[in-house]
Chains A and B, each alone.
Chain A
Amino acid sequence: MTIQEITEQIVEEFSVFDEWLDKYEYLIETGRQLPPIDEEAKTADNLIEGCQSRVWLDCKERDGKLWFTADSDAVITKGIISLLIRVFDGQKPEDIVAANLSFIDTIGLRDNLSPTRANGLHSMITKIKAYALAFLQKEDNEQK
């Protein structure tokens, strides 16, 4: 599925919840299902430090696509990063860089996070896009 298709699917899934508590339940469940990250991938480079909770995000390239694993000490944060991984896992770096992420506002995620967590969400997206950009630049250099 393309990034566009996956985000549409997420918007649809969220539309069945009336209450934000149900959306949190969903995020908690999603977070619990996130496959574990390798302990050696929990490096300082992979750490996204926020005031409230910590997130590790690792990225590997295979067959021209990027694959992500992550972990967090807070389970709602873990739910958020797993939602992002669902969107970006196995996508091409150029698609990741160009991705439109308006689904985050559509499902109301940003508005329903505390400001420190909303900043954390921003940092996660920045980190994912930075991985993709770095990969593209590396590819570009190798071609030259």
Chain B
Amino acid sequence: MDKATANFRSRFPALAQQIYGKPLVYFDNAATSQKPDCVIEMLEKMNAEACANVHRAVHRLALDATDLYQQGREAAAAFIGAPADEVIFTSGTTAAINLVASCYTRINLKKGDKILITEAEHHSNLVPWQMACAIYGTSLLVTPVGEDGTLDMETFRRQLDNGVKLVAVAHISNVLGVENPLREIIAAAHEAGAVVLVDGAQGIVHGKVDVKSLDCDFYAFSGHKIYAPTGIGILYGKRELLEKMPPYMGGGDMVDRVSFEKTTYGPLPLKFEAGTQNIAAAACLAPAMKLAREVQEDAALQAATEATDRLMAEQLATIEGLHCPSLANPLRKGIFSFCIDGVHPADAAQIMDKMGVAVRTGFMCAEPLIRKYSEHGMMRASLMPYNTPEEVEIFIAALKRAITMLR
């Protein structure tokens, strides 16, 4: 392992563990990332010191907590190139998408309108739109992806011309790891009069995001996939859209004046943040985003990450009967999902677990896409910059052993 990776890796205490007496190989990063020392320290500080509710009281602890909470928002906003008041805290990507699917649709969709998604969406960017369609009598169109996960842009453009009011698309597929051409998608959608929501749960991890330059209308992501704790996520939305949308939940902190006759709502982003948020996790976004930015700017670490990804691709290609649809797709980022002839992925994962290797199997919350490739689900290995070539070797050896046992 090179020095940049070793240094970075040393900041994640969970990665130093042994599992069943063997070194942990954590390749389930697309489910959640491991947490670095700076995030663990902030979480500790938020519970052991700056423990108070935000925006309410005048006492010292409340002021400290509010400060740290706001720094979390500013860090997340800066990370995606957005002003802080256009960044709404949610519990995660799912909650962020549901917010748009509930509130934006309420004033903008009518019977006969269409919502367009892609075949490679996570259930979080599919089911909320089905629910909206059931309420408003809108219909759901689905743009197919090719065998290797590349979006069929020709069909996409054709579908757009058909009364589509909203496009909801993953930045990067959680199964195939394939990055969608967001600029092209957004430009075409806007031309057709549709707004675009980007599900950035995976995309935020694997490249720089600038929502203003992308010109997307909404961008959602979760903190926990990018070094922050679980329970905090972001919805970026363009101010003019957010201002017109009705609130999601009613409650404390989201109001301006309240009387029994009439209530006026607070300014952005508070209008969408009823109740006490996950204050500690929100504050952790500051160290998490700082670290993620350092990773992006560390050329040596980037080169090592790419080399590890290449090694993984080369090694997987040598396994007989293994089918990884997006393996050779140049748009693939950090994620490998595959099926193996004659081997049920759940069996293989169970055996590999005993060798200290953590992977994901099944339908990965993208059942319609995975059914295209296999009725038994797939195995997914997803890498982060702290993963090493040595881990790839252990993973490949474990996979080969499992295949030998199971075939």
Contacts and interface: CB of A to CB of B under 8 A. Distances in A.
A114 B344 contact: no
A28 B406 contact: yes
Instruction: Please classify how large the interface on chain A is, using the bins under 10, 10 to 19, 20 to 34, 35 or more.
Output: 10 to 19
A76 B346 CA distance: 9
Interface stretch (B10-18, B303-311, B350-358): B350-358
A21 B354 contact: yes
Contacts of B351: 21, 24, 76
Given A20-B20, A21-B354, A114-B350, A75 B376 contact: no
A42 to B, nearest CB: 14
A76 B347 contact: yes
Interface residues of B, number: 18
A24 B353 contact: no
A25 interface: yes
Contacts of A77: 344, 346-347
Interface string A14-56: 0000011100110010000000000000000000000111000
A112 B376 CA distance: 21
B405 interface: yes
Interface string B273-316: 00000000000000000000000000000000000000000000
A24 B405 contact: yes
A139 interface: no
Contact of A75 (B361, B362, B406): B406
Nearest to A31: B347
A130 interface: no
B350 A76 contact: yes
Contacts of B376: 53, 73-74
Nearest to B363: A51
A72 B159 CA distance: 41
A134 interface: no
Contacts of A76: 344, 346-347, 350-351
B377 A25 contact: no
Contacts of A86: none
A52 B405 contact: no
The 3 closest A-B pairs by CB, nearest first: A74-B344, A52-B346, A76-B347
